[in-house]
Amino acid sequence: MISKSGSTLETALAFRMLRELMEEMYEEDASGHIICTTSKEGGLLNKLIAQKGYRKFVIPDNVGGRYSVLTPVGLLPIAVAGIDIRTLFYGAVSAYNSYEENAEDLLEYAALRNAIHESGKTIDVFATFEPELTSLGGWIQQLLGESEGKEGKGIFPTVATFSTDLHSIGQFIQQGKRSLMETFIIVEKPFSKLQVNKLEGNDDELNYLAGKSFHEINTKAREGTTEAHSEGDVPIVKISLPALNEENIGQLIYFFELLTGIFVYSLGVNPFNQPGVEDYKKAMYRLLGK
């Protein structure tokens, strides 16, 4: 259970249902199977922790939800998924040290994004040809969307996994209203050796791909997509990872956290609050009779 206050409806309601199931399954041992991540003190969840004896991890008071990947909020579930969180964390630390010395690339990206914003672009499609990065794109979507979307400003972030989504939104990207930009997240080094074999008879007419790896095919698909979308007058930014591993993902996480702060401040708004989210909560609670 991860919640700073313990009272966010969607999370608290899911926890209630799962807690009932756990208590039915494990009876008096249920508390030993539940781990909570919440604020150091205060809030409904801390009362429940004191009452039930759940194991607890602390969310630092000065870290907002979307910036909390490198705290127990993100590190615990990442570790449970079998990923080396020490390497991930120190990848982020290395990015921190690097940008303290020279942040030219990051500042250039923030300035470019600001210029694209000022030119009237209102949508940024974060696209990758690597399905493994789809959920990371969802975090980037929240990080930027909740941070920059205020006072009528910001570029709406959305996530696409190509080539699948090229068959649904590719037409709009290519020839729709020129309101968008694209940010490609690229992995240079293949992490799979799967390749196309030659098939006797060639009944599917794919033998022209024989001997090519899927990474190579994917790369050509990306290059072709970039070429087509550029010709369609879509500004494209490429962010390249040398390989898909914990160190590079840790660096990327810190890169986007720092970029978000710099870019959103350049718009003249606060990157660390989310007043609009509170508005929907108030309306929802009123309609539910709280």
Q: Are 122 and 148 in contact (CB under 8 A)?
A: no
User: Using N-to-C axis directions, what is the helix angle for 104-118 and 246-266, rounded to 10°?
Assistant: 50
Please, what is the end-to-end C-alpha distance for the chain in angstroms?
Answer: 22
Catalytic, out of 100, 167, 200, 205: 167
Candidates 146, 148, 247, 257; catalytic one = 146
CA-wise closest residue to 137 among 126, 145, 153: 126
Give the single-character DSSP code of 90: H
Please say if 33 is a catalytic residue: no
Sheet of strand 236-241, all strands in order from the earlier edge strand to the far edge:
156-161, 123-128, 180-187, 236-241
Selection from 248, 208, 245, 240 nearest residue 223 by Cα: 240
Name residue, tokens 């956290």.
257
Tokens of 133: 């990065």
Residue 181 φ then ψ, to 5°: -125, 170
Q: Does the annotation count 229 as an active-site position?
A: no
Catalytic residue from among 23, 56, 246, 281: 281
For residues 139 and 73, the answer to whether their CB atoms sit within 8 Å is no
> Active site includes 247?
no
d(CA 30, CA 18): 11
Active site amino acids: 146, 167, 281
